[in-house]
Chain A
Amino acid sequence: MKIPLLAFNDNGIYCQQADVYLDPWRPVKNAIITHGHSDHARWGHQNYITHHTNIPIIRHRLGEINVTGKDWNETFVINNVKFSFHPAGHIIGSAQIRVEYKGEVWVFTGDYKVEDDGISVPYEVVKCHTFITECTFGLPAFNWTPQAEVITEINNWWAENKAEGKTSILFGYSLGKAQRLLKYLDTDLGTIYTHGAIENMTNVVRPLIDLPPTKLVTYETKKEDLLGNIVLAPPSAHGSTWIRKMTPFVTGSASGWMAFRGARRRRAIDKGFVLSDHCDWYSLLDSIKATGAEKVICTHGYTDIFSKYLRELGYDARTEKTQYEGETAEMEKEIETEKEIRE
């Protein structure tokens, strides 16, 4: 039997012909990395190859690593296999990986979204035979509202809280969501304060994106200073003593999961904004169609349900187990990182 161009093994997505892994979850020799989130760019590989935008981000997370940067659409060949990075629109630097060997083309999306967020290079359709896609929100219940509307909602919320003399605390992942929120917060309303994890990551990407000024919350920050202003914090800070000291405050969270009433209530958050860096139902279906792929492999999210539906639509679709966990992972993983930062 022919060896598939990309195979799923215990370490990650493996290209045997080139002896490289895509977003491996165990330490390997050669790793091609889609983006800087911790479930995709992991610690311990000997050589990293990624889009050059991601280098400072990954270094910030993992320290000194041996990494090579590539440009968009720049083809690099390893043992006759052609690789190239194409924008995935998920967060700044996020890429899809195109893999071609003897005329056969595979694309691995990593995480992606179709809507242009004004920060990451917009998603690009890459034609392929086999499309390895995430489906974090692969259920018809997920239909995103356009970004501009959600942003208006967020700024209105801030203005309301300000009018009531309260501090707004907005949760979003320190890499990606935080900068997306920051970019569009209405600075006429007040000062944007940040949690250490977000401040550090934002400083890493400031040379690449034009972002409004922020102020780090420190031990010297008085809660009176915060009143009427907004604090950007990672989800893991919810319920911490760091936050309790900011009373009176109102909490909000920006995530795709906020589409479910249950998800918001379970996290005991006052206000949920449905804003995701992943595709919703229709954009998943549309992107798959646009690639022209006949074979689809679903890696993380509602994989079983989504691939079953794809099969009904006539695709040769299946599920592979990976250790990518989409928005959940980004949230849970941060808990550990933040703890280290705080201590």
Chain B
Amino acid sequence: MKNFAQLIKVLDSSNKTNVKVDALTMYFKNASPEDKVWTIAILSHRRPPRPVNTTLLRNWANELANIPLWLFEESYHIVGDLAETIALIIPTTKEHSDKSLTEYLQEIIALKKKTDPEKKEYLQQNWLALNYYERFVFTKLITGSFRIGVSQKLMTRALSKAEDVDEDALAYKLMGNWDPNTITFQELILDEQNSDYLSKPYPFYLAYPIEGEVENLGNPEDWSIEHKWDGIRSQTIIREGEIYVWSRGEELVTDKYPEFKSFVGIIPDGTVIDAEILAFPEGEIGTFNDLQTRIGRKTISASLLEKVPVILKAYDILEWEGKDIRNLPYAERRLLLEQLYNSIKDKTTSFQLSERVLFHSWEDVTNERMRAREMKSEGLMIKRNDSTYQVGRKKGDWWKWKIEPLVIDAVLTYAMRGHGRRSNLFTDYTFALWQTNDKGEKELVTFAKAYSGLTDAEFRKVDDFIKKNTLERFGPVRSVTPQLVFEIGFEGIALSKRHKSGVATRFPRILRWRHDKKIDEANSIEDLKSMIS
């Protein structure tokens, strides 16, 4: 545990990629095989299920700190991280434990089945037996994922260095369903093929935004164009009569989309499809807002299935007849995909093709991009015809060319402290637009939240304004004097009953601070609604 805590401390305190990779590599070279498996699991968000709910966790920590609960809550709002708060408020000791990371995790797994008094005793004992940083790491293992600026890619790179295994091959090995509690390091990393091959997805190939003018990409004949659909990027695997659907976040979502079960028997075994999951209400592509009614639901009611069905909009084919075909050129893979689509389109309506757009010049492409909103896409994907299907985000062969955001000027009305590196600063904002109420008076109505888009210096200025212009406090939230106007950009817009403004926006973010505008000059809800096509 000591070494793991030390590793986390280094990862958490450096902003330099090489320092992180070096620290991880050193760690992997020295750690036991069991600890290595757990470290990989934790850094790829495969932590054991939470054994204790956070309410109990804070009550028990609070008891040791001997402070009232409200004071704990206030501290938590300011610190911005539950595990960190717990580690900070518990009286510090000089102790440290010699138990390994694996031992701790096994105890944490076993803890889930224990009674509350047993859980309490275990936690309080261990909190007091660890020094500040180990206590933080220990609590983090229980509460949630480590957001310490280590991407899976970075971890994979370090592991590849330490074990001398090819990085792309490793990335593939680490995908999918594996249980750190049962798998050995040998099976996970060193063996040729591991046991859960059946459900295993390929690493996703991701595009960078296009840089500069589209014409600079050269001869249009070398490229293909598709729309960039606004749903959930996914990989659908059909092997040995089973179907597995993975989201880009490496979450197995097969059960959430029962529509796709019917593909078994229609799509031949040994096929893997890269596609977008899209809402398809009333036989048309829906908004992301529609899709949201399906995300996060464990059980899908029959009425919801009927109201908001989903489809797969297929981009690419990665495996065919049981063979990994990622190294075939894109154009060839597309031909296979199109053949597959043509052979099954009469048997299912849930499988659709993301059509390639016909074009002759970059001007045609530019015009097609202007149609994106009408097509309900986010913009275009530009893919080189001879490109292989690569691993992770790579430049050169695939580019995304999104449409310009919609913009509106809105008034800052509420603020909340940020999390992680922004805790202690008010960086999460709520914005409002004008609306005329029944009495004919103009009032500000909340329409969106946003927490990105300003520089650190600007955030500090806004934070200072908020602290000096707080009207009321509601726990972590403060209402502020309406005075600052910001230009808010967003990708899409739809009517919504869940929102007070009657409108839901997609990916709202701050584009700039309009120092030049007074609040009277901000836009209205009517202006916003007029943007709905």
Residues of A within 8 A of B79 (CB): 141, 260, 262
Q: Are B91 and A143 in contact (CB under 8 A)?
A: yes
Q: Which of B16, B81, B91, B456 contacts A261 (CB 8 A)?
A: B81
Asked if B30 lies at the interface with its beta carbon under 8 angstroms from chain A, I say: no
Q: Are B425 and A266 in contact (CB under 8 A)?
A: yes
Q: Are B88 and A143 in contact (CB under 8 A)?
A: yes
Residues of B within 8 A of A141 (CB): 75, 78-79, 85, 88-89
Residues of A within 8 A of B84 (CB): 260-261
> Complex formed: what's the CA distance from A264 to B80 in Å?
13
How many residue-residue contacts, CB under 8 A, span A and B? 72
> Complex formed: what's the CA distance from A305 to B422 in Å?
20
Q: Which of B78, B85, B422 contacts A266 (CB 8 A)?
A: B422
Q: Which of A142, A264, A312 contacts B68 (CB 8 A)?
A: A312
Asked if B13 lies at the interface with its beta carbon under 8 angstroms from chain A, I say: yes
Q: Are B65 and A265 in contact (CB under 8 A)?
A: no
Q: Are B89 and A270 in contact (CB under 8 A)?
A: no
Contacts of A287-319 to chain B: CB distance below 8 A: 302, 305, 308-309, 312
Asked if B265 lies at the interface with its beta carbon under 8 angstroms from chain A, I say: no
Asked if B323 lies at the interface with its beta carbon under 8 angstroms from chain A, I say: no
| Interface size in chain B (residues, C-beta < 8 A) | 32
Q: Are B14 and A140 in contact (CB under 8 A)?
A: no
Residues of A within 8 A of B80 (CB): 260, 262
Q: Which of A139, A143, A271 contacts B92 (CB 8 A)?
A: A143
Q: Are B424 and A309 in contact (CB under 8 A)?
A: no
Q: Are A271 and B13 in contact (CB under 8 A)?
A: yes
Q: Are A259 and B88 in contact (CB under 8 A)?
A: yes
> Complex formed: what's the CA distance from A266 to B12 in Å?
12
> Complex formed: what's the CA distance from A76 to B421 in Å?
49
Q: Are B71 and A140 in contact (CB under 8 A)?
A: yes
Asked if B420 lies at the interface with its beta carbon under 8 angstroms from chain A, I say: yes
Q: Are B420 and A262 in contact (CB under 8 A)?
A: yes
Asked if B15 lies at the interface with its beta carbon under 8 angstroms from chain A, I say: yes
Contacts of A119-150 to chain B: CB distance below 8 A: 139-143, 145
Most B Cβ at <10 Å: residue of A139, A142, A264, A308: A139
Q: Are B74 and A139 in contact (CB under 8 A)?
A: yes
Residues of A within 8 A of B70 (CB): 308
B387 to chain A, nearest CB (A): 36
Give B133's nearest chain A residue, CB to CB. A261
Residues of B within 8 A of A142 (CB): 88
Q: Which of B12, B67, B420, B422 contacts A140 (CB 8 A)?
A: B67
> Complex formed: what's the CA distance from A262 to B78 in Å?
10
Known: A141-B88, A270-B13. A262 touches B71 (CB 8 A): no
Asked if A24 lies at the interface with its beta carbon under 8 angstroms from chain B, I say: no
> Complex formed: what's the CA distance from A259 to B70 in Å?
21
Residues of B within 8 A of A140 (CB): 65, 67, 71-72, 75, 88-89
Residues of B within 8 A of A309 (CB): 67-68, 71
Q: Which 5 A-B pairs have the closest CB atoms?
A: A262-B423, A265-B421, A141-B88, A140-B89, A266-B421
Point out residues on B near A: beta carbons under 8 Å.
12-16, 65, 67-68, 70-72, 74-75, 78-81, 84-85, 88-89, 91-92, 418-425, 456
29 inter-chain pairs at a CB distance below 8 angstroms, sorted by A residue, are A139-B75, A139-B78, A140-B65, A140-B72, A140-B88, A141-B85, A142-B88, A143-B88, A145-B92, A257-B424, A260-B80, A260-B424, A261-B81, A261-B84, A261-B420, A262-B80, A262-B81, A262-B419, A262-B422, A262-B423, A263-B423, A265-B12, A265-B15, A265-B421, A266-B424, A305-B71, A305-B74, A308-B70, A312-B68
